[in-house]
Amino acid sequence: MESGMQAASWLRREAQQIRKPQWRAALATALQALALVAQAWLLADILNAALFAHAPLARLWPQWIGLLLLASLRLLLNFYARRTSFSAALDLTAQLRTRLLARAQALGPIGLRAQTSGDLITRLVDGVDAVLPYFARYLPQVSTAALVPLLLALFVFPADWISGLILLLTAPLIPFFMVLVGNAAERASQQRYAQLTRLGAAFMDALGGLATLRQLGAAERVAQRLDGDGEDYRKLTMQVLRVAFLSALVLEFFATVSIAVVAVLIGFRLLWGELPFRDGLFVLLLAPEFYLPLRALGSLRHARMDALAAAQHLAALEETPPPASAPLVGGTRVAAHTPPGLRVDAVHYSHAGRAAALCGCSFDIQPRGVTALIGATGSGKSTLLNLLLGFVPTASGRILVEGVDLSELDMTQWRARVAWVPQQTHVFEGSVRDNLLLAAPGADTLALQRAAADSGFDAVLARLPQGWDTPLGERGLGLSGGELQRLALARALLREDACVWLLDEPTAHLDAESAHAVEQVIRAAAATRTVLLVAHRLVAAQSADWLVVLRDGAVIEQGTPQQLAHAQGAYAALVQAEAQ
C-alpha cells in the first residue's frame, strides 16, 4: 500500500512538468464541449422547425452551415488537444529516460551491482513505455471527465431540470464502480509487471551466457524455463485484460441504464405535453455525451494501473543514492597529455555489512612505468581499482593525483584520462571497426591502423574474412580470449588522452604465448603512461617496475621484482608455488 502511494506521488510529481500543455489541452476540450452544445442545439432546432413548424429546408441552410462549421471546429480542437497532450507526454518520457540513464551512470557499477542488466533494461525501456499512456491519455481524460459533464449539465438544467438532476445523481455511480473493479486490476497489473521484470532479467542472462549454455548442454533446459516464464506472463496479461473488460462492461451498463432512464422520462413528458420537443431532443442529444468522458476514463484506468506498477521500479531507481564520490564536473582538472604520479595514502575502505576491504594501504604509482598489484582473491585489488576510477570514496585516507586529492578532481575529466582494461572485454554486436571506435568515435583510419599495429591486433585482422568490417557477435563471439584482450588494448591505445592505464588481470585465462604478447604491448605503452596492473600471472608481475603485495586489504610488501624475489617474503613464496 505504501509503495503504491509512493508511486502515485512520483507520477504526480512528474506530471507537474507538463502542467502547462495539459491546461492548454483542457481549454481546447472545454471549447470542444461548448461547440458540442451549440451543435446539439442547432440540430434540435432544425428538426423542430422541419417537423413541427413545417419550415422548408431551403430556409434552414444557415443552421446546416453552422452545423458543418461546428463539426469542423470540434475536429480541429480535438486534434489540437490530443496532439498537445501526446507531444508533451512524449517529451516528458524522453527526458525521464535520459534522467534515469544519467542516474544509472552516476550509480556506476558499484551502485548497480545489486541489479541485473535485464532488470535495468526492463525499467529503462518497458518501464518508461508503460508510463507514456498515463501522461498522454489518462491524465488528459481526467481533465475531460471533470470539465465536460459539468459544462453539459449547465446547459441541460435550463432546458430540463429533471433530466439534469438524473444526470448528476447517476454520474457518481460510474467512478464508484470504476474504483471498485479497478482494485483487482491494480493488483493484477503489479503482478504482471513484476513477472515482466523477472522474464526480462532471465532472458538477458540467458542471452549473455548462450555460448556457455550450449557447451554445457543446458540451452534446452533454459529455453523451457523461459517458455514457462513467458506463459506465466501471458496468463497475467490475460488476467489484466479480463478485469479491464469487466470494468468496461460494468461502466457501459450503468451509463446505458442512466441514458435509458433519461430517455424514458423525456418520452413520457413529451407525450403528456410537459416538455417542448426542441428542449427534449436537445437533452437527449447531450445525455450520451455527458457519460462518454466518464466511460472513457474507466476504459483508460488500466493505463494508470500499468503506470503505477512501473513507477514503483522507476522511482526506486531514481531515488537510489549514488555512492559519494567526486563531482562529475566542476572540480580540479589535472594536466593533460602528461602521465601523472599517483599516491595511495593510508586508505581504508569497507563494503556495507562486510569486513574491511582495505586497511591503511599506502604505496606510490610512478609515471612512465608499470606498478603491479599482487594478492589472492579478496585481498582488495578490485576495490583499489574502483577507488581509482572514482566509483566509491575512501572511508579514510587519500588518493592523490599529482598531489591533488582524487575527491577534489573533475571526475568526468579524470575518467577521460583513464583507460580501464577489465579481465573480460565486452564486445557489442557490430563490426570490428565499430567496436574499436567506441573508444574514440572521431578516430580516422590511420589512427585505427596504428592502434592495431601497436597492440598486435593487426595480426588478428589479417585472418578475419572481412578485415575491419568483420561482424562480431555479442560478447565477442568470433574472437578468442587473447584476441579480445588485444582488441581491448587497441581501444586503450586509441584514447590518446588516456595517460593512466588500469589493467585488471589482462593476461588471466590466456595461454603463455598470448599473455607474453599482451605483456609486451603493456611494456611499450608504459613508456608514455602511468600503468597500474593487477597481476594474475606472476610472470607478468616480474616484468613490472614496482610490485605491491596485498593480503587481507593491507600492503605487506613492496619493492622491485628483484628485491622481493630475494627477500624470501610473501612474493617469493608465490613465485616458488607457481613454479612448482
In a domain, 64, yes or no: yes
CB atoms within 10 A of CB 504: 18
Retrieve residue 148's grid coordinates.
Answer: 465536460
In a domain, 327, yes or no: no
pLDDT attached to residue 1: 47
Q: What angle do CA 519, 523, 524 make, to 5 degrees?
A: 120
pLDDT attached to residue 292: 86
Query: How would you class 409 by CB atoms within 10 Å of its CB: exposed for 0-12, middle for 13-18, buried for 19 or more?
Result: buried
Whether 308 and 360 map to the same domain: the answer is no
Retrieve residue 80's grid coordinates.
Answer: 489540437
For the chain, the domain total comes to 2
Q: State the chain's mean pLDDT as an integer.
A: 82
Whether 347 and 314 map to the same domain: the answer is no
Phi-psi bin for 404: left (phi > 0), alpha (psi -120 to 50), beta?
beta
Domain boundary among 276, 302, 318: 318
Q: What is the CATH number of the domain that holds 428?
A: 3.40.50.300
Decide: 167 and 287 in contact? Cβ < 8 Å.
yes
Tens-digit pLDDT profile for residues 178-212: 666 666 666 677 777 777 777 777 777 777 667 66
Whether 188 and 111 map to the same domain: the answer is yes
Q: What angle do CA 331, 422, 352 make, to 5 degrees?
A: 65
Phi-psi bin for 253: left (phi > 0), alpha (psi -120 to 50), beta?
alpha
CB atoms within 10 A of CB 29: 25
Whether 268 and 404 map to the same domain: the answer is no
Whether 300 and 379 map to the same domain: the answer is no
Decide: 250 and 181 in contact? Cβ < 8 Å.
yes
Decide: 416 and 497 in contact? Cβ < 8 Å.
yes
Decide: 269 and 146 in contact? Cβ < 8 Å.
no
Whether 237 and 356 map to the same domain: the answer is no
Beta bridge partners of 549: 374, 557
Whether 370 and 309 map to the same domain: the answer is no
Whether 376 and 279 map to the same domain: the answer is no
Beta bridge partners of 409: 332
Give the number of C-alpha atoms closer than 13 A to the C-alpha of residue 372, restricted to the C-beta side: 26
Residues spanned by the domain of 24: 2-318
Whether 520 and 428 map to the same domain: the answer is yes
Decide: 453 and 413 in contact? Cβ < 8 Å.
no
pLDDT attached to residue 550: 87
Report the candidate in 390, 363, 288, 417 with the shortest Cα–Cα distance to residue 544.
363
**Helix (H/G/I), strand (E/B), else coil: 65:** helix
Whether 282 and 355 map to the same domain: the answer is no
What Å distances lie between residue 485 and 108, 132, 338, 441, CA to CA?
Answer: 23, 42, 25, 20
Which runs of consecutive H residues, i.e. helices, occur in 16-60? 19-51
In a domain, 332, yes or no: no
Tell me, letter by letter, the H, E, C secondary structure of 243-296.
HHHHHHHHHHHHHHHHHHHHHHHHHHHHHCCCCCHHHHHHHHHHHHHHHHHHHH
In a domain, 323, yes or no: no
Q: Quick one: how far is CA 138 from the chain centroid?
A: 22
Tens-digit pLDDT profile for residues 396-446: 889 999 888 888 888 888 888 899 888 778 888 788 888 888 888 888 888
pLDDT attached to residue 102: 84
Retrieve residue 504's grid coordinates.
Answer: 585488471
Tens-digit pLDDT profile for residues 236-271: 888 777 777 777 777 778 778 888 888 888 888 888
In a domain, 243, yes or no: yes
In a domain, 532, yes or no: yes
Whether 439 and 552 map to the same domain: the answer is yes
In a domain, 20, yes or no: yes
In a domain, 325, yes or no: no
Q: Which residues contact 535 (CB under 8 A, 6 or more apart)?
A: 372, 373, 374, 505, 507, 541, 544
Whether 301 and 352 map to the same domain: the answer is no
For the whole model, what pTM was predicted? 0.70
Q: What is the CATH number of the domain that holds 278?
A: 1.20.1560.10
pLDDT attached to residue 575: 62
Provide the residue-wise pLDDT of the chain in tens; the chain has 580 residues. Answer: 455 577 888 888 888 898 999 999 999 999 999 999 999 888 888 888 877 777 776 677 788 888 889 889 999 999 999 999 999 999 999 999 998 888 887 777 777 766 666 677 778 888 888 899 999 999 998 888 888 888 998 898 888 888 888 888 888 877 777 666 666 666 677 777 777 777 777 777 777 667 667 777 777 888 888 888 888 888 888 877 777 777 777 777 877 888 888 888 888 888 888 888 888 888 888 888 888 888 888 778 778 878 887 888 888 888 777 665 545 666 777 777 788 899 999 898 887 666 778 888 999 999 998 998 988 777 888 888 888 888 888 888 899 998 888 888 888 888 888 998 887 788 887 888 888 888 888 888 888 888 888 888 888 888 888 888 888 876 656 677 778 888 888 888 888 888 899 988 877 766 777 777 778 888 888 888 899 998 766 766 777 888 888 888 888 888 888 887 776 676 666 666 665 5
Decide: 30 and 145 in contact? Cβ < 8 Å.
no
